[in-house]
Amino acid sequence: MTCSALTETRRNLSKQPEHRSMAKLRIDAKVLLFVETIYSRLGRDIAELLVHNRIKYKVDVVGKSLPVLTNLDKGKFAVIVFENLTKYLTMDNWNRELLDKYCREYGVGVVGFHPVSEEVLIGSQLKGFPIFVHTKMNLKNAALNPASNVLRLTRAGETAWGNLPGNDWTVFAPNHSTYEPLEWASPNSELPSPFVSDHGAARLLYTVVQDHGTYDGIQRVLFGSGLGFWLHRLLLLDALTHLSQGQISLGLNRYVLIDIDDIFVGEKGTRLKPPDVEALLSSQKRLQAMVSGFKFNLGFSGMYFHHGTDEENAGEDLLMEHIDDFSWFSHMWNHKQPHLYDNYTHLEMDMKLNKNFATEKNIPTDSGYSVAPHHAGVYPVHEYLYEAWKKVWNVKVTSTEEYPHLRPARLRRGFIHRNIMVLPRQTCGLFTHTYLIEKYPGGREKLDENIQGGELFQSIVFNPINIFMTHMSNYGNDRLALYTFESVLKFTQCWTNLRLLSTLPVELGEKYFQMFPEEEDPIWGNPCDDSRHIKTWSHNKTCQQLPNFLVIGPQKTGTTALYSFLSMHPNINSNLNSIDTFEEIQFFNGKNYYRGLDWYMGFFPVPINSSSQYLFEKSATYFDGEQVPKRAHALLPQAKLVTILISPAKRAYSWYQHMRAHGDQVALNYSFYEVITASESSNRPLRDLRNRCLLPGKYSQHLERWLTYYSSSQLFIIDGEELRTAPVDVMNSVQKFLKITPPFDYATHLRFDKKKGFYCQIINEDKTKCLGRSKGRKYPQMDERSLKLLQRYYLSHNTALVKLLKRLGHQNIPGWLKMDLSDTMVT
């Protein structure tokens, strides 16, 4: 496999079109994808490609109406994609005119895929356009038009030899100068007359065409087949860049790091011999000609040095003679998986043994990079590993293929924990046991398919930073890894204009999070939802330590009273108290989240009988936390949610009085009216207090955020006034919602306390146990001016709440909500 004409001119990437224009001022970098159904295969393929390349998109099923296309004077989409071109061509006149007007006004292009036809069409005209199609074609030998200005990432000049996948291709025959071929192919069978020249020779068949827009003012790219042909995936990315005028654009730099794990580890007969080491050095030189700055990155486990045959030991000695030719990082001394260490001291001692070995052999110890065997302890996080890495090796970056899950690979992401950057790793099919070509899954044919346009090639194209995991055994025997990487990087040079680069792992980590700063914060998932994660999770951990339900607030609605009532139930256990926030852990919002899952689980006792015990936590700040629903659902997707609502005006006033009672200087210095009328030009402490008073009361807005992640059947809404006046009825409903059996008889355990003015727990016939002195405080009545202002402020939110409650099936609207709305109407 060779490239024709890899000349310096071809490698002058500065000549690649950038497609930039003033469009960035008028359109968002987002794709509108029209599909026939949400289950259609091509639609899913397109969406997956967009996700892999982190391109924002919206999916809409082609129907009677269009989605909103503009926001004020700005277009919401940069490119329109139809998975079925026919749906675009046959759109009703009203919607078609609206869509075409939008495309012309905002300079937005259209991509269309001609659908598979059930019948053979010969010279059939596309409705409304001077272009004809022939369907059900069987093709071979695809090539690209080197003169096309669409090509940016994709490079023309090569031919994809052989049969193209499928026998249902559509080819285009233009009859107007607006059209230019982007891809063409040759027929695999005899052609009808429209596709044969006057001399009887077969014409090149246009499989992808560009519409320059000179016919009707709209630029388009039309595909004669879907994404089953690998080259179409690249062409679609280039089409999106071109048609969006550069708004949707991928960089052309691709960083490649190849880790060779398990150096010195392996059975006799599978390890490196001197010729293998020499081949490794020779291959590295060839790769350096393709990848600037490239070096193999070797991960060593010193305990197994010189444990092979005499010839294999000689190979290791030759590696030691060439230490400076490679990069090095620490594996585990004895190749033991870190999550199996229950004792931090033992883990630290083994790391020190590997470091002592490195020092003795003059292997560099300052790479700041390490990889754990089988990725164990990296994710799910084993805190001892991160602590020992920092102390012994000053690790700054590691990598794993397990975050958030191994599959699908397109969703692998990075995160930062304890100041260690965790980068996503890519897989290449080379495992510990694949040291011979026949041991590769699917054999030689599958390997070459992955290299020549398949998963391995696409991994390099779609990921700006690629860290590949390989093993020492892949480089001995028939040297499968050397063939794999030399081949795929050559193929990448043949078919793309990508710049292949490499650098040190720490620099890769810094580059990655410069590109994707939104990934710095981790999202802790539930290890029990992934069988691979359970295998690399400490055996002394259990998902039975995670809560079954959450009381999410908001603050000052009665959550502490609910907490005390729930804690009375013999089968319900709350979390242990925090020294900082008492009964509230406040894990999913704020800094506690970065302490990790181990820290969170430490607050929950292991249930004696998990089948009858229900764990919960109450953190009233969860309700209006922007990140909380997403974080909570990632860890507790099956959990149930309990929230309490009271009049938002009353809640705001209660919070203000709460702050005054706790000596908050802003609350003491300003009246309630001054607080809620503070403007954006007010001092920051005053604005902060205003927001803490007002924002949680936008109930519908916050509930909708929760319902983005949780189903309505997982949410229970308590009327706070009913909880105060009829707690027995409310608690019976809560038990029914939680499906707790046997039910607890709250009627015999709660009694109204006249002094306190609310219900308290019965200790014996004469005594009750009530909440602390700070609960149930009597505040001065809110002034009428503030009340009216707040009722007007919350009018739209309360109206939206009524609609939401009805949508959720609530037959009875809370009395306080009716009163707030009616008082506002009177006002």
**64 in a labelled binding site:** no
**654 in a labelled binding site:** yes
- Can you read off the two tokens belonging to residue 353? 């043994």
- Return d(Cα 440, Cα 304) in angstroms, integer: 26
Placement of tokens 């939401």 in the chain: 804
**775 in a labelled binding site:** yes
> Nearest CA to 731 among 811, 618, 642?
642
Residue 333: DSSP 8-state = T
Task: Please state the separation of Cα 405 from the chain's center in Å.
Answer: 10
Residue 374: DSSP 8-state = G
**779 in a labelled binding site:** yes
103 CB-contact burial (10 Å; exposed 0-12 / middle 13-18 / buried 19+): buried
Distances (CA, A) of 493 to 10, 47, 242, 499: 10, 26, 21, 9
Please tell me which residue in 30, 541, 556, 698 is annotated as part of the active site: 556
Active site residue 140: no
CA dihedral 595, 596, 599, 600 (to 10 degrees): 110
Own/partner contacts of 290-295, CB < 8 Å, gap of 24 or more, are 290/489, 290/490, 290/493, 290/500, 291/256, 291/489, 291/500, 291/501, 291/502, 292/499, 292/500, 292/501, 292/502, 293/501, 293/502, 293/503, 294/256, 294/502, 295/325, 295/326, 295/327, 295/502
**106 in a labelled binding site:** no
- Please name the residues in contact with 495: beta carbons below 8 A apart, sequence gap of 6 or more: 154, 155, 158, 231, 234, 453
> What is the C-alpha R_g of the chain?
32
- Return d(Cα 405, Cα 528) in angstroms, integer: 12
- Please name the residues in contact with 812: beta carbons below 8 A apart, sequence gap of 6 or more: none
- Return d(Cα 589, Cα 448) in angstroms, integer: 48
> Nearest CA to 334 among 302, 361, 305, 358?
302
**30 in a labelled binding site:** no
Distances (CA, A) of 485 to 489, 509, 720: 6, 22, 64
Strand, coil or helix: what is 311?
Answer: helix
- Can you read off the two tokens belonging to residue 678? 């503070």
Placement of tokens 């990632």 in the chain: 634
Contact between 109 and 154 under an 8 Å Cβ cutoff? The reply is no
Distances (CA, A) of 69 to 20, 34, 102, 105, 118: 22, 13, 8, 12, 33
Pure H helices in 64-164: 85-89, 93-106
Q: What share of the chain is helix, strand, coil (3-state, %, to 5)?
A: 40, 20, 40
Placement of tokens 């899913």 in the chain: 44
Contact between 555 and 655 under an 8 Å Cβ cutoff? The reply is yes
DSSP notation for 207-271: EEEEE-STTTS--EEEESS-TTSHHHHHHHHHHHHHHTTTSS---SEEEEEEEEEEET-S-TTSS
Which H or E element spans position 45?
Answer: helix 41-52
- Return d(Cα 175, Cα 85) in angstroms, integer: 18
Contact between 52 and 277 under an 8 Å Cβ cutoff? The reply is no
Strand, coil or helix: what is 44?
Answer: helix
- Return d(Cα 759, Cα 776) in angstroms, integer: 10
**755 in a labelled binding site:** no
- Please name the residues in contact with 93: beta carbons below 8 A apart, sequence gap of 6 or more: none
Binding-site positions for 3'-phosphoadenylyl sulfate: 654, 759, 775-779
Binding-site positions: 654, 759, 775-779
Q: Which residues are catalytic?
A: 556
